[in-house]
Structure 1
Amino acid sequence: MSPLGTFLPAPWSHPAGRRLFVVLLVLLLAVGTPAGVSGAAAGGGGSAATPDRARYDVDLRSDADGGRWTGRQRVSFRNASERPLREVYLRLWGNGEDGCGTPGTPGAPGVPSPVVVSGLRGGTADPLTVNCTALRIALPKPLARGERASVAFDVSVTVPDRNARFGREGAFRFLGNALPVLAVHDAAGWHLDPYVAVGESFYALAGDFRVRLDHPSGMAVPATGRNRTRPGAPGRSVTLSLAERVRDFAWAAGPFRTAAQTTPGGVRVKSFWAPGTPAAGVRLARAEAVAAVDRFGREFGRYPYGEVDLVMTSGFGGGMEYPGLVLLGTTEEGNAVVHELAHQWWYGIVGNDQYASPWLDESFAQYANFRFYGLETRDCWSDVYWPDDGAELTASMDYWSRHRGEYHLVYTAGPCALADLERTLGADAMARLLERYARDHWYGVSTTEDFKRAAQSMTDEDLGPFWESHRIR
């Protein structure tokens, strides 16, 4: 994610840096964190991450302007743990900012949550918790290791009236984190962390999505996965999306202008932009996207999804990444497309718990961004200020939510630390490290300890002092 930012001194004054929001991140928007359960909500103990191998089958129909989508969703899954699985949780992240809605009063009807689940089959639902973002579903019988089960439900999605990753800008709708997805249970228990508006709380295992979106024919619908649109009922079209081994599904809707091109490496880059988006910025973003997808494919492993969609408007704040789709605020100088595309690897393919370890995706994506533009990093520490001796680069969103003015360190100190590691190991060894690390965690979940062990394997030098001095703990 690339929130709004302001200009910084060197290396941020590099000409390439001036063109992009992503190189200029320092002061984040002041937002609150909803109350809820933080960390593991139930005891664990040595269990594998579960439920896994999820398949999401979704059929939604939009209203006339794409502001409301209703339909049915089915989720099938496997128990990967040795322990019987007696329950699952759905995360309704779309309720993160609005919570449980507003209750009705005499003469004034209430406003429900943006995402409403009803008509559940395949289990018994408890009341929503964690500010209406977590739905516990008790299964009819314990699911043994290797067994599969499924739940199905009606879902209603109403796009909030705000310009955000789940929101709207004029005639354009952004549906990031709108679909309910399975929570993760591992050795720490169920991960039911609260939603954060700056940064991410998301943690999901890779799964498959088959999504059918029925919408007015005058509406373009970029979406995660490989997409094709065909005629539907009179005046309507159906966009079919197939996405395999992804952690989430997002889409947008509106009267976008469109263009497409294929990179030399064979990736289809489809661009969608709102009228009024600066043409120079759109052209630059398209060119940089083509170059970045192929370059990161060479450095970290070939992009596996075949297609990536760029959604560009003039008013969106910064950028936001989803598998196969990125949302981009765009000026004449471009946008954060390189950083957001780096996220296709760092969190999208090489997963992590974004609430517990945001540096593992944001710092790695920003480091890839630095490398793409050839930014000088030897003096980047001059712009890093640690507020106290206890601050850590590896802190969780629980810490950053309570110290919002320091969250920029994930984007500034993080890539500086990785650049220092490159100088410590050598450029060739660092390149091998990242390629191997991505390969070893392809479609999996990585941790800070995993990365530290992988880096240590590249050198005989004890990296303990390096981790401590760079606050990677």
Structure 2
Amino acid sequence: MPSLPAWPSRAVGRLLVVLLALLAAQGGTGVDAVTAARSEATTTTTPAHTATPDRLRYDVTLRGNADGSRWTGRQRVSFRNSSDRPLREMYVRLWGNGVDRCGTPGAPPPVEVSRVSGGTAGRLSVNCTALRIALPKPLARGERAVVAFDVSIAVPERNNRFGRDGAFRFLGNALPVPAVHDAKGWHLDPYVSTGESFYALAGDFRVAIDHPRTLKVPATGRTWTRPAKPGRSLTLSVAHQVRDFAWAAGPFSTATETTPSGVRVRSYWAPGTNAEGVRLTRQDGAAAVDRFGEEFGRYPYGEIDLVMTSGFGGGMEYPGLVLLGTTEEGSAVVHEVAHQWWYGIVGNDEYGAPWLDESFAQYANARFYGWETRDCWSEVEWPSDETALANSMAYWAGHPGEYHFLYTAGPCALADLERTLGADTMARLLKQYARDHWYGVSSTAEFKKAAQSVTGKDLNPFWKLHRIR
């Protein structure tokens, strides 16, 4: 096992918060003209194997029971085939079934889909996390189709990204989302508890959540809450160009502030959460969203929700919403906010190349806190020749004791790249790279090519040394 980087004690504390987040994971109403132009730029070139289905539009209605532990509703997904090849089927990923798989007799899986329209549903596969839907006729390039289905969601009795903590419910990865098809075929990777399996294309969500008035419901997107039937409220959310939709429910305390750049930061915390930790999280979260907006491109969603409890282990990121275990030391909020860019805005196959979000987010985290990274690479000791930063989750899930390299060696490698290129050049590289992949999908090969394009130095020895293959 390698030593941790020689960072200050406060920095190491922050790093440990993020590593705890890793362990815990185991068990506007519109976009501005510039952002819209970026979105179009990522979708106008359509090679035969381009990622599809894209231009996703979700319309969802949900109704929660008295304590927010069960949700039922209807989900409609409109999509386009952007590939040159006809699309004869699509797959929906039910990631909420990842831990429980297909359930047990008398205890069905947490997420169930029924009454499918717009196609013919097959049998659940990949441990009940994938549902094939055969389309009525082949969908040609540029054509759109719609599938819809009823969805039933039972929140598991575990403290997890999809789970509960006392009276508080977390619904991360609860809504089904379409799988991605690209040059590798359909991405039907298995669920992993260490890290993430989630690979999704950006889309627009319109979600109406009917819930008891006693529950606050933070959610992805810009949200408004209004009275509904007696004793109930309706929370409406609109989210443009996001890869997933998450929400929480519970008797939270709340506060709202607006950053200097105009981002609305809504904080939600459970009673009993350390007051100083809440203050630090709100302070650092608001500062981070503006800081990263300057470094990587303006935050496009208008609002971000920080959901804090003392019992949640670590942190978990979703578009416009982060779940945070919060103590007197604060939380992993800066790392999770960085994920709004590295995974959220600049997408990647989180199963195939998790370093592209975890290492980049932790590098941003280190820069935010001003950690000293000059000598941290010298302390990296690889446990075997197979260990490499660009490994997939298939490797890391089989070597969970090595997964921390994405949080330690990964940001150290990027810090070394900064020293190799120069700080100003690295800053320009990341900002341009984010712009070029805004709402799109990144890959290791594309990042290496982009880095090589900004320098006359041969970077091949660098990639070899840092095991970015």
TM-score, normalisation: structure 1: 0.93
Match of 2:299 among 303, 309, 317: 303
Q: 1:26 to 1:392 in 2, by over 3 A?
A: farther
Structure 2 counterpart of 1:18, from 10, 13, 28: 13
Rounded Cα–Cα distance in structure 2 between residues aligned with 1:164 and 1:391: 28
Report the AA paired with residue 255 of structure 1.
P
User: For 1:273-303, what per-residue CA distance to the aligned partner results, in whole angstroms no more than 9, with x for missing partners?
Assistant: 0000000000001000111000000000000
Partner of 1:274: 270
Equivalent residue letter for 2:323? L
Identical-residue share of aligned pairs (%) = 75
Matched, 1:433 2:429: yes
Offset of residue 440 of structure 1:
0.2
Distance 1:225 1:427, change over 3 A: same
Counterparts of 2:21 and 2:50 in 1: how far apart (Å)? 37
Distance 1:161 1:8, change over 3 A: farther
Pairwise CA distance, 1:12: 4.0
Partner of 1:79: 81
Which stretch of the first structure deviates more once superposed, 15-24 or 90-99? Answer: 15-24
Q: Secondary structure at the match of 1:437?
A: helix
Matched AA of 1:61: R
For residues 24-423 of structure 1, what are the structure 2 equivalents within 5 Å? 28=23, 46-103=48-105, 110-423=106-419
* Structure 1 position 380, deviation (Å): 1.6
Distance change in 2, residues 1:189/1:224 (3 Å): same
Query: CA offset at residue 28 of structure 1?
Result: 4.0
The CA deviation string for residues 409-446 of structure 1, in whole angstroms up to 9 with x for no partner, is 01100000000000000000000000000000000000
Q: Which amino acid aligns with 2:298?
A: R
Alpha-carbon distance in structure 1 between the residues aligned to 2:389 and 2:102: 33
CA distance in 2, matches of 1:396, 1:183: 18
* TM-aligned CA distance change 1:403 to 1:370, over 3 Å: same
Q: What do you get for the CA RMSD once the two structures are aligned?
A: 1.8
More helix by share: 2
Letter matched to residue 54 of structure 2: D
Decide whether the 8 Å contact of 1:225 with 1:242 is kept in 2: yes
Q: Distance in 2 between matches of 1:164 and 1:31?
A: 8
Distance of 2:292 and 2:316 partners within structure 1: 18
- Pair 1:83–1:290, CA change in 2 (3 A): same
SS of equivalent residue, structure 2 residue 193: coil
Q: Which amino acid aligns with 1:121?
A: S
Q: Which runs of 5+ in 1 are unaligned?
A: 1-6, 33-44, 104-109
Q: Which amino acid aligns with 1:421?
A: L
Deviation at 1:22, TM superposition (A): 3.9
Helix, strand or coil at the partner of 2:125: coil
Q: Indicate conservation of the 8 Å contact 2:23/2:313, yes or no.
A: no
Q: 1:287 to 1:29 in 2, by over 3 A?
A: closer
Cα distance change of structure 1 residues 87 and 9 upon mapping to structure 2, 3 Å threshold: closer
Following the alignment from structure 1 to structure 2, what is the Cα–Cα distance between the partners of residues 448 and 80?
Answer: 23
Question: What code does the residue aligned with 2:393 have?
Answer: M
Which residue of structure 2 lines up, in the alignment, with residue 35 of structure 1? Answer: none
Report the counterpart of residue 460 of structure 2 in structure 1: 464
User: Which consecutive residues of structure 2, in runs of 5 or more, have no partner in the other structure?
Assistant: 28-46
Q: State the distance in 1 between where 2:268 and 2:180 align.
A: 33
C-alpha deviation, 1:203, in angstroms: 0.3
* One-letter amino acid of the structure 1 residue matched with residue 9 of structure 2: H
Contact 1:59 1:211 in 2 (8 A): yes
Q: Give the TM-score normalised by the residue count of structure 2.
A: 0.93
